[in-house]
Amino acid sequence: MRAFDHDTVQSAEEAIAALASGGSSTMLIAGGADLLSLMKSDLVAPARLIDLKPARDLRGISVQPDGSVRIGALTTLTEIERDDALAERLPILRAAVLDAATPQIRNIATVGGNLMQRTRCWYFRGPYTCWQKGGDWCFARGGENKYHAIFDQSPCVSAHPSDLAPALLALDASVAIQGPGGQRVIPLDALLRPPTDERRHETTLEPSELIVAVTIPAQPDGARGAYLKMMERHAWAYALVSAAVQLAIQDNAVTRARVILGGVANIPYRVEAVEAYITGQALTTELAGAAADLAIVGATPLARNQYKVSLARELVRRAVLLAAGMDWQ
Ligand SMILES: Cc1cc2nc3c(=O)[nH]c(=O)nc-3n(C[C@H](O)[C@H](O)[C@H](O)COP(=O)(O)OP(=O)(O)OC[C@H]3O[C@@H](n4cnc5c(N)ncnc54)[C@H](O)[C@@H]3O)c2cc1C
Ligand code: SF4
List the residue whose alpha carbon is closest to atom 9 of ligand 1: 100
Is pLDDT larger for residue 215 or for residue 2? 215
Is pLDDT larger for residue 21 or for residue 70? 70
- Give pLDDT, residue 329: 81
pLDDT beyond 80 at 63: yes
- Closest ligand 1 atom to residue 164 Cα is 11
Distance 80 CA to ligand 1 centre (A): 15
Residue 177 · residue 184 · CB < 8 Å: yes
Segment 32-41 shows an average pLDDT of: 97
- Give pLDDT, residue 228: 98
**Ligand 1 contacts CB of residue 261 (under 6 A):** no
- Closest ligand 2 atom to residue 138 Cα is 6
pLDDT beyond 80 at 114: yes
Using pLDDT thresholds of 50, 70 and 90, give the confidence band for residue 212.
very high
Domains in the chain, ordered, with CATH? Answer: 56-116+159-216 (3.30.465.10), 223-323 (3.30.390.50)
User: 52 vs 9, 31, 59, 128, 191, CA distance in Å?
Assistant: 6, 9, 10, 31, 20
pLDDT digits (tens, 9 = 90+) for 240-274: 999 999 999 999 999 999 999 999 999 999 999 99
- Please give the share of the chain, as a percent, with pLDDT higher than 70: 100
Average pLDDT for the chain: 97
Using pLDDT thresholds of 50, 70 and 90, give the confidence band for residue 325.
very high
pLDDT beyond 90 at 144: yes
Using pLDDT thresholds of 50, 70 and 90, give the confidence band for residue 276.
very high
- Give pLDDT, residue 248: 96
**Ligand 2 contacts CB of residue 147 (under 6 A):** no
CA nearest 74: which of 44, 101, 98, 50?
A: 50
Nearest ligand to residue 237 Cα: 1
Using pLDDT thresholds of 50, 70 and 90, give the confidence band for residue 46.
very high
CA nearest 243: which of 261, 257, 231, 225?
A: 261
Nearest ligand to residue 123 Cα: 2
Cα separation of 291 and 276, whole Å? 9
- Give pLDDT, residue 87: 96
pLDDT beyond 90 at 23: no
- Give pLDDT, residue 22: 81
Using pLDDT thresholds of 50, 70 and 90, give the confidence band for residue 158.
very high
**Ligand 2 contacts CB of residue 119 (under 6 A):** yes
Distance 154 CA to ligand 1 centre (A): 23
- Closest ligand 2 atom to residue 143 Cα is 5
- Give pLDDT, residue 202: 97
Distance 212 CA to ligand 1 centre (A): 15
Distance 135 CA to ligand 2 centre (A): 10
Segment 313-322 shows an average pLDDT of: 98
**Ligand 1 contacts CB of residue 35 (under 6 A):** yes
Query: pTM value?
Result: 0.98
List the residue whose alpha carbon is closest to atom 27 of ligand 1: 113
Residue 138 CA from chain centroid, whole number: 22
**Ligand 1 contacts CB of residue 213 (under 6 A):** no
Using pLDDT thresholds of 50, 70 and 90, give the confidence band for residue 24.
confident
Please report how the helices 307-323 and 285-295 are oriented relative to each other, as an axis angle in degrees rounded to 10: 140
**Ligand 2 contacts CB of residue 140 (under 6 A):** yes
Pocket test for ligand 1, best of 14, 28, 183, 214 (most atoms within 8 A of CB): 28
